[in-house]
Chains A and B, each alone.
Chain A
Amino acid sequence: MLKARLFDKQSSGFDEVTLEFCENELIIHTQDKSYNYAFDELKVSERLGDMPRSIYLGDERVCECEDNNSIDQELKKRRLSQGSRLIHHLESKSIYILPALVVTIAIVFIFLKYIVPYSAQKIAYSIPQDIASEIGTGTLQALDKVILNPSKLSSEKQEELRKDFTKMASALKDLPPLKLEFRFSSKVGPNAFALPDGTIVMTDQLVVLSQNNEELLSILAHEIGHIKNRHAIRMLFQNSAVLVVIATLTGDATTASSILSALPTMLIESSFSRELEAEADDYAMEVMKDRGIALHYFADIMTRLSEGHEESKDGEYFSSHPITSSRIAKFQE
Chain B
Amino acid sequence: MVQEKAHPIIFTGNGWQYFKIYFVNIMLSILTLGIYSAWAKVRNKRYFYGHTSVAGSSFDYHAQPMQILKGRLIVVAVLVIYQVAVGFTPLIAPIFSLLLLFAIPFLIMRATKFNMQYSSHRQIRFNFLGKYPYVFLYFIVLPILSVFTLGLAYPYAIYKQKQYLSNMSKYGNSEFSFGGSSGEFFLTYFLATVLLLGLYALLLSSFNLIDAQAIQDFSKGFKEGLKASMEHNTTSLYANEKEAASSQVLMIVAGVYGFFIFNILLFSAFVNTRLTNYLFNNLELKGIRFSSHISFFKLLWIYVSNLVLIISTLGLFIPWAKVRAVSYKLSCMSIFSDELGGFISQESEKANVLGEEFSDFLDIDIGF
Contact = CB atoms under 8 A, between A and B. Distances in A.
Interface in A70-99: 87, 90-94, 96-97
Contacts of A96: 20, 24
Given A87-B24, A101-B23, A253-B363, A147 B235 contact: no
B50 A51 contact: yes
Interface in A232-272: 232, 235, 248-253, 255-257, 259-260, 263-264, 266, 270
A251 B40 contact: yes
A50 B19 CA distance: 14
B307 A256 contact: yes
7 contacts: A12-B123, A104-B30, A187-B227, A235-B232, A260-B311, A277-B239, A317-B247
B311 A270 contact: no
A33 interface: no
Contacts of A9: 123-124, 345
B344 A223 contact: no
Nearest to B346: A10
A52 interface: yes
A91 B21 contact: yes
Contacts of B281: none
A276 B235 contact: yes
A21 interface: no
Which one of B37, B43, B243 has the highest number of Cβ atoms from chain A below 10 Å of its Cβ?
A: B243
Given A50-B51, A52-B58, A256 B318 contact: yes
Interface of B: 12-13, 16-21, 23-31, 34, 37, 39-41, 43-44, 46-47, 49-51, 57-58, 60, 87, 121-124, 172, 223, 226-227, 230-244, 246-248, 257, 261, 264-265, 306-307, 310-311, 314-315, 318, 321, 340-345, 360, 363
A91 B18 CA distance: 8
Size band of the interface chain A makes with B:
35 or more
Contacts of A195: 234
Nearest to B40: A251
Contact of B30 (A107, A187, A264, A321): A107
A29 interface: no
Contact of B19 (A97, A143, A188): A97
A93 B25 CA distance: 14
A212 interface: no
B244 A318 contact: yes
B50 A48 contact: yes
A151 B140 CA distance: 48
Contacts of A5: 57
A163 interface: no
Nearest to B268: A255
B17 to A, nearest CB: 5
Contacts of A108: 30
A147 B18 contact: no
A257 B237 contact: no
Given A64-B57, A321-B244, A191 B17 contact: no
Contacts of A187: 223, 227
Nearest to A260: B315
Interface string A179-212: 0000000011001111100000100000000000
B92 to A, nearest CB: 15
A22 interface: no
A62 B236 CA distance: 66
A49 B122 contact: no
Contacts of A139: 233-234
B239 A273 contact: yes
Contacts of B34: 248
Contacts of A252: 360
A104 B27 contact: yes
